[in-house]
Amino acid sequence: MKLATLQTLLLDGDGVLWRSNDAIPGLNRFFDVLAQRGIGWALLTNNNTRTVDDYVHKLRGFGVEAEASRIFTSSTVTADYVEQRYGHGAPVHVVGMGGLIETLTGAGFRVTHGEEMPPGPVVAVVAGMDRAITHEKIKVAMRLILGGAEFVATNTDGNFPTPDGLSPGTGMVIGALQAVTGVQPTVIGKPQVAIYQAAMRHLGADPSTTAMLGDRLDTDILGAQRAGIGSIAVLTGVITREQLAASEIQPDLVFESIAELADALADARGV
């Protein structure tokens, strides 16, 4: 892929644009260069603990104005999947946190969650990150899945970067449910292609001039390859030079950070 012909850039958040609540250095210039180049963009995140509005406010706090329509989370794409499969207002049980519960409730589903069995049948158990996971929550979800509810995982990321190091991710919860049920979930987020396709449809993007920018080989980069678009990795998150050298999954381009990528984008078109 060539930076000079790039027209659309799909962006990961954690480890690419920020770590926790700290912007990666060069974030504002990076978005300035995108604007100057006329490059369309959307945020694609597997983080299911936050809502779209949370991300709009987060970006605004960094000085970046973004419409809600530019934000695609594993929660929003999961809501689309469940609605397409089971219809508006279907009953679902959630293992997850406020962002996932709020997103599914706002999408019109009849949502239950917690340590009590739902009062009636549910069509799906939707699982995401839960920092307050308990034996009882796992037991309820296990019995629902073994009873015939579809097991839907927002994503399976094993960890995510924070300023003080890697922390356990959604895969912690999904792995527990897989272990106790023996059921493989339907996975919605990266590296599955649904989130890429949703963003590209919204932006009217041509795959030949679109790339994904991320910090994970097994989600961001692999998903880009499955979606038939370019891939760019930065080394400010999960990926290290050593992991990159040892992996069969290889991005088209690698930069130290968005600051270096901004310089390259500007140079590619003389911005």
Whether 54 sits among the annotated catalytic residues: the reply is: no
Q: What is the CA radius of gyration of the chain?
A: 19
Q: What is the pLDDT of residue 159?
A: 87
Q: What is the pLDDT of residue 270?
A: 52
What number of residues does the chain have?
A: 271
List the pLDDT tens digit at each of the 271 positions of the chain: 899 999 999 999 999 999 989 999 999 999 999 999 999 999 999 999 999 999 999 999 999 999 999 999 999 999 999 999 999 999 999 999 999 999 999 999 999 999 999 999 999 999 999 999 999 999 999 999 999 999 999 999 998 877 788 889 999 999 999 999 999 999 999 999 999 999 999 999 999 999 999 999 999 999 999 999 999 999 999 999 999 999 999 999 999 999 999 999 999 865 4
Instruction: Report the alpha-carbon distance of residue 230 to residue 5 in Å, rounded.
Output: 11
Task: Catalytic residue, from 12, 130, 215, 220: name it.
Answer: 12
Instruction: Report the alpha-carbon distance of residue 176 to residue 182 in Å, rounded.
Output: 10
Task: Catalytic residue, from 14, 130, 157, 220: name it.
Answer: 14
Whether 206 sits among the annotated catalytic residues: the reply is: no
Interhelix angle 194-203/74-86, rounded to 10 degrees, is: 100
Q: What is the pLDDT of residue 161?
A: 75
Q: What is the pLDDT of residue 269?
A: 66
Instruction: Report the alpha-carbon distance of residue 187 to residue 157 in Å, rounded.
Output: 11
Q: What is the pLDDT of residue 20?
A: 85
